[in-house]
């Protein structure tokens, strides 16, 4: 347990009151000044605790309106998105990598719209990541050839996944999860039947210099992503 008077202790007590029904859903709770007086601490400490709960979706706070327990809380689940090699190694397995294709191709319409790509051909890189020699995830990536030219950046030994994180870090983008049936190519590389249900992550990455990449990571059947609540 935390020592009393710390913001963690106040957060825990607030949570307890919500669970116990002292602060029922929909109700407004005492304001920061009152709670600070009750707990015998500074208002900033109460603010820290309640702000933390609000960020997790467990409280709703509005200036002047006060703080209330939401009727239907919108909880937040967070995934840790590491590079694939670290993901595999974090499971205590050996990471393997195999480049399948690296060629210039006209991107499909879905990729064009997702990235807002106006130009012609993009660099299409396909690769397989292995965990203890078994297929783990299929990486299907479209790269802006102006930002990642094929004659200067090679992906034979280092995956595009890893290269991008190291060299074009901290860019913005979207991320989405979906399920898709394995097509012939995915089935072949992942060693499953065509049509098998695959968990996939699609991500677009942009910088100020323009679109960087669209990638779809298709995990081998049975893969499960754990999130923290």
Which residues are at the interface with a second copy (CB under 8 A)?
Answer: 15, 18-19, 25, 57-58, 71-83, 86, 162, 165-166, 169-181, 195-200, 202, 207, 219, 221-227, 229
Which single residue is written with the structure tokens 């397995």? 93
Q: Please, what's the largest Cα pairwise distance for the chain?
A: 67
d(CA 137, CA 79): 17
Instruction: State the minimum distance, in angstroms, from the CB of residue 104 to a second copy.
Output: 27
Nearer to DNA, 40 or 169 (CB): 40
Instruction: State the minimum distance, in angstroms, from the CB of residue 181 to a second copy.
Output: 5
User: Quick check: 50 binds DNA (CB under 7 A)?
Assistant: yes
Q: 60 is written with which tokens? A: 């709703």
d(CA 102, CA 50): 50
Nearer to a second copy, 103 or 175 (CB): 175
> Phi and psi (nearest 5°) for 89?
-65, -35
- Residue 135 forms beta bridges with which residues? 130
- Which of 19, 63, 152, 224 is in the footprint of DNA by CB under 7 A? 63
Calculate helix-pair angle for 32-39, 43-55, nearest 10 degrees: 120
**Residue 93 binding partner per list a second copy, DNA, none, with a CB distance cut-off of 5 to 8 Å that depends on partner kind:** none
Region of 47-55, 118-126, 135-143, 194-202 interacting with DNA (CB under 7 A):
47-55
d(CA 103, CA 16): 57
Residues that bind DNA (CB under 7 A): 3, 5-9, 31-33, 40-45, 47-48, 50-51, 54, 61-67
């Amino acid at each position: 347990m935390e020592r009393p008077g710390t913001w963690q202790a106040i957060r825990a007590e607030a949570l307890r009151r919500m669970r116990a029904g002292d602060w029922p859903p929909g109700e407004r709770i005492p304001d920061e000044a009152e709670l600070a007086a009750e707990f015998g601490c500074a208002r900033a400490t109460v603010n820290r605790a309640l702000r933390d709960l609000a960020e997790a979706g467990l409280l709703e706070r509005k200036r002047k309106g006060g703080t209330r327990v939401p009727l239907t809380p919108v909880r937040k689940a967070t995934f840790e998105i590491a590079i694939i090699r670290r993901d595999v190694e974090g499971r205590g397995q050996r990471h393997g990598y195999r480049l399948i294709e690296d060629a210039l191709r006209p991107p499909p319409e879905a990729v064009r719209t997702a990235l807002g790509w106006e130009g012609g051909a993009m660099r299409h890189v396909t690769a397989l990541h292995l965990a203890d020699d078994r297929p783990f995830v299929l990486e299907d990536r479209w790269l802006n050839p102006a930002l990642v030219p094929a004659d200067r950046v090679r992906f034979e030994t280092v995956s595009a996944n890893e290269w991008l994180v190291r060299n074009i870090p901290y860019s913005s983008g979207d991320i989405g999860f979906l399920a898709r049936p394995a097509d012939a190519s995915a089935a072949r590389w992942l060693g499953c039947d065509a049509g098998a249900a695959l968990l996939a992550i699609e991500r677009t990455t942009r910088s100020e210099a323009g679109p960087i990449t669209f990638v779809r990571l298709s995990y081998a059947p049975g893969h499960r992503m754990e999130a923290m609540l």
